[in-house]
Structure 1
Amino acid sequence: MKTDNKYTGLEIAIVGMACTVPGARTWREFWANLVNGVESLHHMSRDEMVALEMEEVTIQNKDHIPVVPALKEKDLFDAAFFDYTPVEAKLMNPVHRVLHQSVWEALEDAGCYPGVVKGPIGIYVGGGDDSNWRLHARLENRTEGMDSFGLNNISNKDFLAGLISYKLNLKGPVVAVNTTCSTSLVAVHLACRSLLLGEAKVALAGGITLRSEIQYGYFYQEGMIFSRDGHCRSFDKDASGTVATEGAGIVVLKRLQDAIDEKDHIYAVIKGSAINNDGNRKVDFTAVSVEGQADCITRAQKYARVTPESISYVEAHGTATRLGDPIEVEALNLAFNNNNNKAHTCAIGSVKTNVGHLDTAAGVAGLIKTALSLQHKQLPPSLHFQEANPEIDFAGGPFYVNTRLQPWARNSNWPLRAGVSSFGIGGTNAHAILEEAPAVQPTDAGRSYKLLTVSA
């Protein structure tokens, strides 16, 4: 085995998770959709558009793309469980409601009850703004009579982390994060640092994007970021843009040695991560930078103390924009030393082809997908890829788009490893290096009794 197989003491274990994304209420449903190659975006029929009282001129407009996310149960909330009054529950932003439940589900998944953890629990999360709901809540409050300060607390995205920490009595670092599309992976990076510095025993990290208005689809505009056909065709020659959707994801993190000592279930190991910003190394503020992305990926590899050839999968940002995909692959080629040696190939894919672009939750969705892929030792297909975008230099590196479900074969030299990228408008880049969990040590075969754990 190569020397970079060894643990450095800086590894972080993913010990719990929760997600709600289009077509899947839980991570189990999410994984089933991934392995079955399901696109979970809903393309509305004419009857559905008529039922929404859309004008005929809009229905007939060839540039109107009637695609919406099929997000399950985002309107449900167990307010009493979190000790909110009916009035608070009525006026609370759906972003807050869903994230409360996602955090609790992730803690349950990790078998981690805040009241008995011997050490502080931190939380790093971010969400998109929802001016539509904030206006709605203020109008509704004319008859409810809630004070404006309290109303702001339950409707402002900047209070997400603090409100959850108060309700669950979390006493570690509590940080609201926003770096646009890279928010949730930046949150994971910050949570890892917090654990390594000893600020927290357990850390929660992730993000959420929800939309409270009725969704009618969108209008395609040439040169903008949204797809002309309602599909996210990452890296394909027919790629024309992304599809904005909604969802939430949370992971529960511990230092690896703590997780091993406490016999936690470990989905995957975060070997290292990095964040940076493009600065002005690009044509304008909203553009992307080859140098910025490549530098971020290289820094993550160095911090994780792994070599590029030990990585056999990359969960890409993969927005399916004509400009963004070629730049991303060029940056990956640079970070992988332009290694086109056929002895080393690396699969590439994007969860956006399944669920669209989750904005502030996009990075954690890719992280959860990759952690589950490592656990199951399977690579799910990246959808809608037929022929490569001719502007992408796949010949300049080891990458190929994975288009089918396949076993994730381990190279005899290294454990299974992956990179996860998330890049935000404004230039904040994040990249994480993941590795398969350490082998579980068998219990003593001579014990007459086994421990059966039950959560109810």
Structure 2
Amino acid sequence: MQEPVAIVGVAALLPGSPTVAEFWRAVVGGRDLMTDVPASRWLVEDHYDADPRAVDKTYGRRGAFLPDVEFDPLRYGIPPNNLSAIDTTQLLALVVAERVLADCTGRPVDPERVSVMVGASSLERMVEASARLQRPVWLRALREHGVPDDAARSICDQIAAHYVPWQEETFPGLLTNVVAGRIANRFDLRGVNHTTDAACASSLAAVYNGIAELRLGQSDLVVTGGVDTMNDVTMYTCFTRTPALSPTGDCRPFAADADGTMLGEGLVLFALKRLTDAERDGDRVYAVIRGVGASSDGRGAAIYAPVPDGQALALRRAYAAAGYGPETVELVEAHGTGTGAGDTAEFAALRAVFDASGRADRQWCALGSVKSQIGHTKSAAGAAGLLKAVLAVHHKVLPPTIKVDRPHPDLDVARSPFYLNTAARPWVRAAGTHPRRASVSSFGFGGTNFHCTIEEYPGGVVRRMPAAPTEFVLLGAESTVDLRARVGRLDTGGDL
């Protein structure tokens, strides 16, 4: 069993949810945050075609998108003139990083012992910056069609004017590693800083690295998670050609009518400490990470085809590191993309490991995926799932997965350890048993697999995030004075 790691800070920007508290309300309320593609991302009339075989087109026209976010460049030391050359992901990561550091309630950590490890795979600015370099192609095509040279050059100038000119800030502004670099630079954090690319498993890969950093004793606090704001037409075309997008425009993980995934945007960051340090420093602990397992699929049918045996290996390694078996886990936040191949392979891996636990009863573990609400946030997908699971154990609530009217019959869910939880309900446990436990999976192209095990932190301070406009709260304390103090904190929105 490995040293437990505490999650002592959380922050996020997710579709329809500019804060963590609003994300939790959206999850518990079962809100569907899919919308048509806004014109601020790309124009549907320019790129959409219902025919999946149409050349250089996408049959996707819906997704999940971040709300507008106010950004003051001077607050983060960025000259306003440089903004257009810097990728949105880098900018918004600064906002979320500031929030996650502010959410840490314990004793400050020496900046030389604070590291930043973030999952990031691709930035939109790279595509836009590269487009200007196609001028020779445009010019050649115009000349080949008989356009006079002066007119051809003028037309090329007009096309280039639609793209941000190259400048000194362009190079760092389009690099994924600078997502972490800007955070370390702005907040004067002098531990390790880098990003990790494991495609759609990038954020859990970053968490995996961050936990290793803590267990090696190289850092005392790690800011980690995943970021992805690239919902441009390039990404839609990639998923169209795979093909993985839902032709009906919805994501229904493990459902009988599932027909593909949907794309989302998101930034989710966590602050991690060794549990012993968090307890010593008086931190609020949202949840405890007991183990993270990782594996590769090895040889498979295709580089993008999931392999159940490879995923099962990551699960077994996670529970070996955690020091307990899957028979004690009552919530799995799956990768759950809604694709036929992906869901089938993932369920097979989960069932193989959970069936082998020796527990004879059936359907003891809730299974779900936040992608049904916010789509596939790619590099941030694992972090979004981890945030949902962390808030579930923190609030003692089993959250829903929406749009699943009927499980896919091929999965034989009724005879498995799992049930698809479609409504929020209290997570009730008998006194004296083990803490509430959840697990989170994330997988990426190239056969890279991660599984993270978490459990609640009994008796800790609870950060209330009301899930409804009106709530009934039962409070208890050792004395009248203590009870009045708890009521006072409740009135002011403080921790309980």
Distance 2:163 2:46 in 1: 32
Aligned runs of 1:95-110 on 2, under 5 Å? 95-110=89-104
Task: Give the direction of change, closer, same or farther, for the CA distance of 1:106–1:397 in structure 2 (3 Å limit).
Answer: same
Maintained 8 Å contact 2:318/2:453: yes
Report the equivalent of 1:23. 16
Task: Give the direction of change, closer, same or farther, for the CA distance of 1:355–1:113 in structure 2 (3 Å limit).
Answer: farther
Once the two structures are TM-superposed, the CA of residue 169 in structure 1 deviates from its matched residue by: 1.1
Report the equivalent of 1:319. 337
Once the two structures are TM-superposed, the CA of residue 92 in structure 1 deviates from its matched residue by: 1.2
Report the equivalent of 1:437. 457
Distance 1:185 1:15 in 2: 17
Which one of the candidate residues 244, 254, 265 is aligned to 1:225? 244
Secondary structure of residue in 2 paired with 1:37: coil
Report the equivalent of 1:69. 64
Which one of the candidate residues 253, 256, 279 is aligned to 1:260? 279
Which one of the candidate residues 37, 46, 49 is aligned to 2:30? 37
Maintained 8 Å contact 1:107/1:113: no
Once the two structures are TM-superposed, the CA of residue 44 in structure 1 deviates from its matched residue by: 6.2
Report the equivalent of 2:136. none
User: Could you say what the CA RMSD is over the residues aligned between the two structures, in angstroms?
Assistant: 3.5
Secondary structure of residue in 2 paired with 1:107: helix
Deviates more, 1:206-215 or 1:288-297: 206-215
Aligned runs of 1:144-293 on 2, under 5 Å? 146-147=167-168, 150-211=169-230, 213=232, 224-280=243-299, 282-293=300-311
Secondary structure of residue in 2 paired with 1:134: helix
Report the equivalent of 1:424. 444
Which one of the candidate residues 56, 69, 83 is aligned to 2:77? 83
Task: Give the direction of change, closer, same or farther, for the CA distance of 1:374–1:221 in structure 2 (3 Å limit).
Answer: same
Distance 2:76 2:334 in 1: 36
Maintained 8 Å contact 2:128/2:164: no
Report the equivalent of 1:5. none
Once the two structures are TM-superposed, the CA of residue 154 in structure 1 deviates from its matched residue by: 2.2
Question: Which amino acid in structure 1 is aligned with residue 116 of structure 2?
Answer: I
- CA offsets 1:348-378 (integer angstroms, 9 cap, x no match): 0000001000000000000000001111111
Secondary structure of residue in 2 paired with 1:336: helix
Distance 1:15 1:446 in 2: 28
Question: Which amino acid in structure 2 is aligned with residue 122 of structure 1?
Answer: S
Distance 1:221 1:53 in 2: 14
Once the two structures are TM-superposed, the CA of residue 69 in structure 1 deviates from its matched residue by: 2.2
Secondary structure of residue in 2 paired with 1:422: strand
Which one of the candidate residues 350, 355, 364 is aligned to 1:337? 355
Question: Which amino acid in structure 2 is aligned with residue 84 of structure 1?
Answer: I
Task: Give the direction of change, closer, same or farther, for the CA distance of 1:221–1:203 in structure 2 (3 Å limit).
Answer: closer
Question: Which amino acid in structure 2 is aligned with residue 320 of structure 1?
Answer: G
Distance 2:308 2:51 in 1: 40
- CA offsets 1:75-129 (integer angstroms, 9 cap, x no match): x422111111122223211111011111111111224797x64751011113223
Distance 2:97 2:179 in 1: 11
Which 5+ residue runs of structure 1 have no aligned equivalent?
1-7
After TM superposition, the score normalised by the length of structure 1 is: 0.86
The yes-or-no answer on 1:132 pairing with 2:127 is yes
After TM superposition, the score normalised by the length of structure 2 is: 0.80
Maintained 8 Å contact 2:231/2:263: no
Once the two structures are TM-superposed, the CA of residue 406 in structure 1 deviates from its matched residue by: 0.7
Question: Which amino acid in structure 2 is aligned with residue 267 of structure 1?
Answer: Y
Distance 1:219 1:162 in 2: 28
Question: Which amino acid in structure 2 is aligned with residue 375 of structure 1?
Answer: H
Secondary structure of residue in 1 paired with 2:324: coil
Task: Give the direction of change, closer, same or farther, for the CA distance of 1:53–1:35 in structure 2 (3 Å limit).
Answer: closer
